[in-house]
A and B are shown apart, each in its own frame.
Chain A
Amino acid sequence: MADLKQIFVDRARQKCPVVIFPEAENEIIAKAAVEAGAQGICKPVLVGDEGAVKGFVGEADVTILDIDARPELVNELAEEYARREDFPVEVAADMLSNKINYASMYVGAGKADAIVAGYTCATADAVLAAQEFIGLDADAAMPNAYVIVEPDNFTGGEDGMLVYADPVMVVQPSSEELASIALNTASSVEKLLGWEPRVACLSFSTKGSGGHPDAEKVRRAVEIAREARPGLLIDGELQLDSAIIPRVSEKKIKGENVLKGTANILVFPDCDAGNITVKATTLFANGGGTFAIMCGFAKPVGELSRNSDIDGIVFSTAATAAQC
Chain B
Amino acid sequence: MAFTNEEITDILLEAVGKAIKRDPATLSPDMRWVEDLNFKSVQGMKVCGLLNYKLKVTVPLSALIECATLQDAVDMLAGMVE
A86 to B50, CA, bound (A): 13
Number of CB contacts from chain A to chain B under 8 A: 28
* Those of A56-93 within 8 Å (CB) of chain B: 85-88, 90-92
A91→B50 contact, CB < 8 A = yes
Residue of A nearest to B51 (CB): A91
In terms of DSSP, what is the predominant structure of the interface of chain A? Answer: helix
- Measured as residues with beta carbon below 8 angstroms from the partner, the interface class of chain A is 10 to 19
The minimal Cβ–Cβ distance linking B78 to chain A, given in whole angstroms, is 21
- Interface presence of B46 (CB below 8 A): yes
* Those of A117-165 within 8 Å (CB) of chain B: 128-129, 131-132
Which of B18, B42, B45 contacts A95, CB < 8 Å? Answer: B45
- Measured as residues with beta carbon below 8 angstroms from the partner, the interface class of chain B is 10 to 19
A132→B42 contact, CB < 8 A = yes
Which of B41, B42, B49, B61 contacts A94, CB < 8 Å? Answer: B49
A175 to B41, CA, bound (A): 20
Residue of B nearest to A130 (CB): B42
B42→A131 contact, CB < 8 A = yes
B45→A132 contact, CB < 8 A = yes
- Interface presence of B3 (CB below 8 A): no
A195 to B52, CA, bound (A): 46
Residues from chain A with a CB closer than 8 A to the CB of B18 are 86-87
Residue of B nearest to A129 (CB): B45
Residues from chain B with a CB closer than 8 A to the CB of A92 are 49
Query: Most A CB atoms within 10 A — which of B41, B44, B45, B50?
Result: B45
A59 to B52, CA, bound (A): 38
The minimal Cβ–Cβ distance linking B15 to chain A, given in whole angstroms, is 9
B45→A87 contact, CB < 8 A = no
The minimal Cβ–Cβ distance linking B42 to chain A, given in whole angstroms, is 4
Residues from chain A with a CB closer than 8 A to the CB of B54 are 91
Residues from chain B with a CB closer than 8 A to the CB of A129 are 45
Query: Most B CB atoms within 10 A — which of A86, A95, A101?
Result: A95
Given contacts A128-B41, A132-B42, A132-B46, 17 further A-B contacts (CB under 8 A): A85-B46, A86-B18, A87-B18, A87-B46, A88-B50, A88-B53, A91-B50, A91-B54, A94-B49, A94-B52, A94-B53, A95-B49, A101-B45, A128-B42, A128-B61, A131-B42, A132-B45
